[in-house]
Every structure is written in C-alpha cells, then in structure tokens.
Structure 1
Amino acid sequence: MPDDSAAASSSAFAPLRNPIFRVVWIGNAVAGLGTWLQNTGAGWLMTDLAPEPAMVAAVQAATTLPIFLLALPAGALADIIDRRLFLIVSLAVQGAAALALAALTLAGLTGAWTLLLFTFLIGAGNAMTMPAWAAVTPELVRREEVPQAVALHGMAFNGSRAIGPAIGGVVLATVGAWACFAANAVSYLPLIGAFASWKPEAGNAPSRERFLSAIKAGLRYVGSTPGFQRLMLRTALLFAFASAPWAFLPLIVREKLLRGPETFGLLLGAMGAGAVLGGLAMPRLRKLLPPDRLVALGGVLASAAILALGLGAHPLIAAAGMFTFGIVWITTIATLQVAAQLSLPAWVRARALSLYQMAFFGSLTGGTLLWGWAGEVWGIVPAMTAAAVGGVAAAGLGLRVRLPTPDPSAALPAGPALAVPLPQASHPAAPERGPVVVTIRYLVPKEKTRSFLTLMEEVARCRRRDGAFAWRILEDMQADGAWLEMFGLERWGDYPRHAARITAAEATLLARVASLHQGDGPPETHLYLAPTEWRG
C-alpha cells in the first residue's frame, strides 16, 4: 500500500497545506508582483534617460551588486538576531526606498544616476532580506517538503513575473514609471503582515554570538566544507553566462525588435510563465534526473534560449527563448538552493546561504556588467552569441564539479552522547575571556597511524566548521604512538556553542577516530583558558 504521507510530500503544492507557509507564500507572490513592476519600470526608464548598453545593464547590476556586498553581514545578523523582526525591518526599508523613488519620478527629478542610486538602495534592502528568507524556509515546512517549498516560492515570484511585466508595460505606457515604483512600495505590506503573524518555534532562537565573530564563524564553516564550496563554484559557472539576457533585454526589444514597453513586459511575462511550468514540473524532474545532470541540462537549454533571443528577429522567437529561459531559471535555482539548504545546520544556515547568494549574485552582477561592456564593443548579437557558447562550455565543465548530496545527519545535532566527550570546566568563567584551548590525547598502534591521520584531516574540517580558529595534530616524541589533537576557540562563550554545533555526522566521524585509540581508558582531555579577555 503506498505511503500517503510520501505521496503528499511529492505533490507540487504539498507545503501550502501549512497555514503559515501559505500566508507567507501569498505575501511573497504579491511582493514579487511589485518587484517585477519595479524592474520593468526601472529598465525601461533607463532606456529613456541613458539608452547606452552599459547604462541599461547597470540597472540590473545595481539590483544585484548590493547582494554581493551585503549578503555576508546580512547572513550573520540573521543568525544572531530575531529573523522574524529582521525580515520585517528589511522589507520596510525596501518599501520606503521604492516610495521615495516614485515621488521623485512623479516630480520629474529622477535622472539616470538617481535611478541607479535608488535601485541600489532597494537592492540593499533585498540583500538584507535574502539570507534570512532562505534560512526560514526549512522552519516553515517539514524537511521532506523543503524542495517543493523552494520551488513554490520560485513559482510565486516567477508567476508574478508572468503578469507583472505585462502589467508594468501597460502602466508605463498609460501612467508612467512612477506608478510602477509606487505599486512596488505597497506590495511589501502583505509580506510584512505575514511575518508579523508568524511565531517561530522556541528551538529556533538566535544565538548570542558577536557580529564579527559570527561572520568569521560563517567563513570558517564554508571554508571547511568542500561540498558547499563546489556548490558555490557550480552556481557561479552557470550564472556568469545566464546573466546575458538581463543585460540586453530592454535594448533587444527597443532596437532589434523595434517594439515598445508592452512587448518588453510580455517577454518578461513569457519567462515568468516558463518558470511557473518549471516549478510545477520540479517533483517529476527530480525523479527523472539527478541534481548534477539537471543543472547541466539547464545550462545547455539556457544557452539555446540566449541564442534564440540574440539571433531571433521576431517577437515570437524571442518569447519562445524567454519561456525556455524561465523553465531553466526556476529549475536550476531551486535545485542548487535545495542542495544548499538541506546540507546546513540551523546555527549557520543564514550565513552559509549568504555566501552562496554572494556567489550567485556576484556572478550575475559581474556577468551583467561584462556582457554590457561586450555589447558596447562587439554589438548585442555577437555578445549574446558568445554568452551562449560560453554557457554550453560551462555546463560541460560543471559536470566535473559535483554537487553535494544532502545528508540529514549533517544538519542534525549530535546530542550529548559523544564517543570522546569534550572536557568540562570545574568553575565558571566570563564569556569574553579567551582564547580557549582544548587538547585530546590519543594512543594509536603503529599499524593504524595512517588511518588515524587520514581521519584527523576530516576532524580538522569539523572543528573549524564548528567554530575553531586553529587546529593541530602533534606527535608526542616521548611516547610511541601518542598523538595530541589541539584546537582553539576565540572566547569562553564560544566553547558551549562549539559543543552544541557538533552534528550527528561529525559524531560518527569522531567515534571512528576514538575506535583507533588503544589506551587503558578513554583519550585524555584537557581544557585551558587564557587569563585575560580576548582582544583579537
């Protein structure tokens, strides 16, 4: 008899049964509609203010550059303060910036650089929102529903893309760009209300880390996690070339197709429709193709869509290219983001996802500026052709950069039962004192030394992932087979956090190391603390 629960979880709309996710999802759809009105208005307005390819491309760059610059600080804040409040404030900042731009545009005071400035400010608000937004998704639904929850958020955003640009084109033609910006300002209100009504579970309370320490801990985690690094590289490879349509679409409509804002909106709408179809197909696609091949196929199809957009001389060809591009956009982004979210423990999720977003938006921003420059030098058609060829090459290269396989035990805490318990203090200390040094002494038979040292290479990554700023393995030259593991933490307050961060997968690794110890008792452990406060 089939498992009804499993069948329900595989449904494209299963997460919407959760009331809070449903409310947030609706708010996301409305905010997405406003975003596409904003983007349509800004892109088209720039073709009036400064119609050079570089300036039009700069609108997209001004949207994505803040995410590259602010994602890591935003991720750290989202991990150490109340994510719900953080999201509400960030969304309110975006709404205020959009409202100010609408007022300036209505008064006729918006020039090219003013438009870029406010586009950057709205992008900055978005940059502050994104890590927290990505991090809360696994808190709103069950783990098995996370892939489709991510796809549903993409469908909401891209469903808004299907109608938002078309509405934006009509608004541009009948009222003006200021009305697009004003609509965007109002669109944030439902999502702010949705998060205001959400009551996070007590177990998801923020940590008490300091801001700079939280940033360094996030960097150490990603720097010690090769699978996550491969994910970031794969993302950057794909979207460096897939950024080309964003650089040229307004100019393709105006100069190549000789059409107006309505056609611009309809082409963006075609992409949104493709994205909705891609989101609906995600459950089936995940069954048919492993993530690595799905992303590689997406790169090839994106290149074909870029070529159609660059070479096609009719709006229907361009619409077919954008429709295909939309399918690829949602399926690849959802696949990559799910691989990221499901491989991360809760304590570092926003910080690590912020680095993933830096790879994504850094690639998107750099690619947009690069293709804008290429369009100035070579022309739009040669630049789009180069992007398509490069995209195919990147897809092939990407297959050699394997995506991480999500492991539930890698994100779950180990609990108190460790094979070698960390040493406990006999008396309290001020949280700011440090550094802390922990030593563990192993006795390993000579024939097992190679296996021991191989395992300790992975232990080093585990310690750094969980907050250690230094790690060493030392051979005791006065006792055969004796090895000393030593690692350091910046502050005494970091020590209990380090212990709590050890995951079930890491506990299994530490148990394998402990099984090689051949002493009369368990490995000997010691705990040391510097007598002054940490000043580093």
Structure 2
Amino acid sequence: MSIVDNITRGFKHKNFRDFFFWQFLSFSGTWIQNTAQSWLIYRLTGSAFFLGLVGFAGSLPALILAPISGVTADRFKRKDVLLITQILCVIQGIILSALFFSGTINKWHILILAIFLGIANSFDVTARQTFIPLLVTKGDLLNAIALNSSMFNAARIIGPALAGILISKYSEGICFVLNVLSYLPFIVFLFLVKVKEHEVSEFSSSLAHLKEGVLFAWNTSPIRHLLLVLGTYSLWGMSFITLMPIFSDQILHRGAKGLGILMGASGIGSVIGALFLASRQKILGIKKLIALCGILSSVCIFIFAFSKIYLLSILLLIMIGFCSIIIISGSNTAMQAMSPDSLRGRIVGLFSMMFMGIFPLGSLTVGYLAHILNTPTAVSIGASICFLVAIYFFVKVPKLTKQAKELMH
C-alpha cells in the first residue's frame, strides 16, 4: 500500500467520501462567517473583553448541553439529529445576514445569535462525530476521524483567508451570506444518504443514561486523563484564538487580511497534523504523542504571545495547529476506541464538553485578563498552565497505555 493509499483509505467508503466533501464546503462557510463575525465585533466595540464574551456565549451551551447531546446521539438516529442542527444553523445565518444588510446590527444581536448557534452546535458536534463510525468499518475509524479533522482544518485555511479578502474589498455581510449557502448541499446529502444506524433503544431515564456514561469515563483512567488534558487545553491553551484580531491589528499591525492569514496558518498546521494521524494504522502509542504535543504547543503559544515578528508568529501558529489537532483528534479517536458502541455517544458528548464547552470559560477568562493586564501576559499565563498539565500527563503515559491496551482487546 502506497503512502497516499494509506492516508486516504477511508475514502474507499462512498458515504464517507460524500460526507467529507460536502462537510468541507459547509465548514469553509462556517470559518468565513466566524472570521467575519470576529472582525465585525472588533470593529463595533474595539474591546478584547467583548471578543472574549462573544466567544464565551457561543460556546457556553456546549458546557451545559454536550453531555445531554451524547444521550441524544445514543437515543435517536444521528442522521436526524444532524439534519435538525444544520437547519438551525441556516436559520441563524439568515438572521445574521438580514440584520447586517438592514443596517440595524449591533453587538448584542451578535451575542444572542452566538448563543443560538452554540446550542445547535452542541448537538451537532456529538452527532457528527458519532456518525462517522456508521460510514466506515472499524478498522478505518482512526483514518476517517483524522481525514475528517484534516478537512475541518483545510476549511480553517481557506475560510479565514477568503474572509480577509472579502471583508477588505466588500464587507462582513457577504461572508454571512456565503455561509448560509454553504450549508445547503450538506443538508441535501443528509436527506439522501442511506446508512445502517446504530441500534436505538428506549431507556427509562435519560438521567440514568447520562450517569452511566459519566461513571464509565470517570472509572476509566485513560479516558479520565485525556479529558483532563482536553479541558485544560481548551480553557487555557486554545482560548488565545479569541484574541487573534488584537494580535493582528494592535501587535502585528496587519489588519483584516493579516487576521485571515494568521487563522489560516493555524489551519495549515492542523491539516499537516491530521494527515500525520491519518497515516498511522494503530491507536496504541498515541497518548505519548498527545503528551509531547501538549508540551510543544504550550511553549509555542508562550513565544507567540510576545512575538512582534509577523513571519515568526505565522510559523508558531503552524506548529500550534499541528499540535492542537494531535491533541484533539488523537484524544477523540482514543476515547472512541476504548468505549463500547452502546456508550459511544455519551463519551463523545463528554469529549465535546471538554473540547467545546470549556472553551467559553477560557475565552471569557483570557479576555478579562487581557483587559486588566495586557494581551501577551494573559496568553502567556494560559500557556504556562498547559505546560504543567502536559508534563503531568507525560509522566502518567506508561501506566495509562497499559490500561488502554486492556480496554481495546
């Protein structure tokens, strides 16, 4: 098997190929809107705190609803859940576009719509991740998750770069319209695709169902430690992305175009990291890789916080993107591999809570610290905390790997 065939082996499944392509279009639109929305907030307010507040509001629902989304993904057909969430996202995009072109949009509109989208995404992420095993064989699951991550991060490159050009030449509004249009082909795909859904059973109590998943994660040491790393990285590591407009405008003096390039640089690193993961044929050993990437990314974020050299900042973001995808997608794959099919939705729900749900707390915290201190100091504090947790996880890896082997055999 050639290197290319090995990396792309998930594409032999037609449903996954279609899922991959139409998601790419949709996610490109999402990143165009996200970048334009960040710039619009910054243009309207000039406030680091409000940037952090919108990031907090948009992701807060995941902290509350992600565990429930896991129950939903196990109790209902995941295809149906995805259809509903995608339609809600379209509605949000239409309202945002209408407010912008009517000239009535303000920061509070954006905040409320961010919460609305966050609620939809809370259920969407878990349903989407647990939908992938229905599209490929178990042997290709690691490859499919990694390819899916590469697609998501390729969209992170294209979306912000396009947004930067469109904002500078036209306005943020055109970005919001393109996002709405990007959802439509994926919705058509979901209507038409035929998959063998997981067995949907009736349960007497959703609370008991949720408790079962939480207890399994807590009592399974490798999953518990991976959730700790994810939560820390989301709270203190990834949150600096919220402040990227400030780095681009005030520190590096590159404006909206620079924002698109900086966001795209992180996406390039993430694509490289995802392709690296896709080339791996075994899940075992991935925890050591996650620990090393946790250490390296913390150092890079710390240096980025104080960098005033544009090229250096771009190179650091590429490395941060590479490490981030290893941490996030590697943890996702490892936890799904260690979980029985009947619990997969709930475990992915907890993953989503720690990955997406903790992020808003980080956005708010780092935004506030940047407001009362300064942006570089706030980001460097977060990087230091991530470094300490990564070192702790690295020390625990040998024992955790032994336990993981027992779970996967």
Q: Secondary structure at the match of 1:110?
A: coil
Q: Aligned residue for 2:84?
A: 89
Alignment of 1:147-162 (within 5 A): 147-162=142-157
1:192 and 2:187 matched: yes
Shift of 1:264: 0.3
Report if aligned partners of 2:83, 2:190 keep a CA contact under 8 Å in 1: yes
Name which one, 1 or 2, has greater alpha-carbon Rg.
1
Q: Which has the higher helix share?
A: 2
Q: Structure 1 residues 61 and 404 mapped into 2: Cα distance closer, same or farther (>3 Å)?
A: farther
Between 1:297-306 and 1:325-334, the stretch displaced more is 297-306
Shift of residue 284 of structure 1?
A: 5.2
Alpha carbons 1:9, 1:145 under 8 Å: kept = no
Q: Which amino acid aligns with 1:303?
A: S
Q: 1:201 to 1:319 in 2, by over 3 A?
A: same
1:401-452 C-alpha deviation (Å, 9 max, x unpaired): 44566969858xxxxxxxxxxxxxxxxxxxxxxxxxxxxxxxxxxxxxxxxx
Equivalent-residue separation in structure 1 for 2:360 and 2:392 (angstroms): 21
Equivalent position to 1:250, from 225, 245, 252 = 245
| Counterpart position of 1:182 | 177
Residue of structure 2 aligned with 1:294, choices 289, 300, 321: 289
Supply the distance in 2 between the matched residues of 1:19 and 1:249 (Cα, whole angstroms). 38
What is the aligned partner in structure 2 of residue 205 from structure 1? 199
Q: 2:328 aligns with which of 333, 343, 349?
A: 333
Q: 1:28 to 1:212 in 2, by over 3 A?
A: same
The separation in 2 between residues aligned to 1:111 and 1:133, in whole angstroms, is 32
1:245 Cα offset (Å): 2.2
CA gap of 1:186–1:408, structure 2 versus 1, over 3 A, is farther
Q: 1:25 deviation in Å?
A: 0.5
AA at the equivalent of 1:207: S
Q: Using the alignment, how far apart are the partners of 2:203 and 2:396 within structure 1? A: 34
Q: CA deviation at 1:237?
A: 2.7
Structure-to-structure mapping, 1:101-140, within 5 angstroms: 101-140=96-135
Cα deviation, 1:199-248, whole Å, max 9, x if unaligned, reads 2226x231112444433333343344333222211222333321242132
Percent of counterpart pairs with the same letter? 25
Report the aligned-residue RMSD. 2.4
Distance verdict in 2 for CA 1:287–1:47, change over 3 Å: same
**CA drift at 1:46:** 0.8
Q: CA deviation at 1:306?
A: 1.4
**Paired AA for residue 370 in structure 1:** T
Letter paired with 1:209: F
CA distance in 2, matches of 1:33, 1:216: 36
Alignment of 1:194-233 (within 5 A): 194-201=189-196, 204-210=198-204, 211-233=206-228
The structure 1 residue matched to 2:41, chosen from 20, 35, 46, is 46
- Give distance in 2, aligned partners of 1:50 and 1:271: 25
Change (3 A) 1:405 1:36: farther
Question: Which residue of 350, 365, 372 corresponds with 1:377?
Answer: 372
When the two structures are superposed, what TM-score results if normalisation uses the length of structure 2? Answer: 0.92
CA distance in 2, matches of 1:104, 1:285: 46
Distance 1:244 1:218, change over 3 A: closer
Does the aligned pair in 1 maintain the 2:142–2:281 contact within 8 Å? no
Amino acid at match of 2:174: A
Distance, in Å, in 1 between the alignment partners of 2:93 and 2:402 is 40
Secondary structure of the residue that 1:108 maps to in structure 2?
Answer: coil
Which residue in the other structure is 1:386 paired with? 381
Q: Deviations over 1:166-199 (max 9, x none)?
A: 1001111222112212211221122222222222
For residues 297-322 of structure 1, give each alpha carbon's deviation from its aligned partner in whole angstroms, at most 9, with x where no partner exists. Answer: 21122123213322221221221121
Taking the aligned partners of 1:350 and 1:33, their CA distance within structure 2 comes to 26
Q: 8 Å contact 2:150–2:271 — kept in the other structure? A: yes
CA drift at 1:346: 1.7
Distance in 1 between the 2:70 and 2:15 partners? 23
Per-residue deviation, 1:285: 6.5
The one-letter code matched in structure 2 to 1:200 is V
CA distance change for structure 1 residues 280 and 224 in 2, over 3 Å: closer, same or farther? closer
2:14 pairs, out of 14, 19, 23, with: 19
Q: Is residue 60–residue 246 contact of structure 1 (8 Å, CA) maintained in 2?
A: no
Preserved CA contact (<8 Å) 2:147 2:278? no
Q: Check if 1:270 corresponds to 2:265.
A: yes
Unaligned ranges ≥5, structure 2 = none
Secondary structure of 2:268's partner?
Answer: helix
Look up the SS of the partner of 1:206 in the other structure: coil
Quote the residue 1:63 is aligned against.
58
User: Mapping of 1:326-365 within 5 angstroms?
Assistant: 326-365=321-360
* Amino acid across the alignment from 1:374: L
| Partner Cα distance (2:356, 2:73) in 1 | 19
User: What letter corresponds to residue 206 of structure 1 in structure 2?
Assistant: V
Residues in 1 aligned to 2:331 and 2:303: alpha-carbon distance in whole angstroms: 25
Output the amino acid matched with 1:293.
K
* Shift in alpha-carbon separation, 1:209–1:282, aligned structure 2, 3 A: same
Q: Distance in 2 between matches of 1:89 and 1:8?
A: 38
Change (3 A) 1:367 1:237: same
Post-superposition CA distance 1:360-410 (Å, at most 9, x none): 223322222221111112211212222232222221012244456696985
Q: Aligned pair 1:320/2:320, yes or no?
A: no
Please point out which of 300, 306, 311 is paired with 2:301. Answer: 306
- Deviation track 1:51-99 (CA, whole Å, cap 9, x = no partner) reads 2211112232223212112112221111111111111111111111111
Contact kept, 8 Å, 1:247 with 1:369, in 2: the verdict is no
Q: Deviations over 1:475-520 (max 9, x none)?
A: xxxxxxxxxxxxxxxxxxxxxxxxxxxxxx7xxxxxxxxxxxxxxx
Letter in 1 for 2:391: G
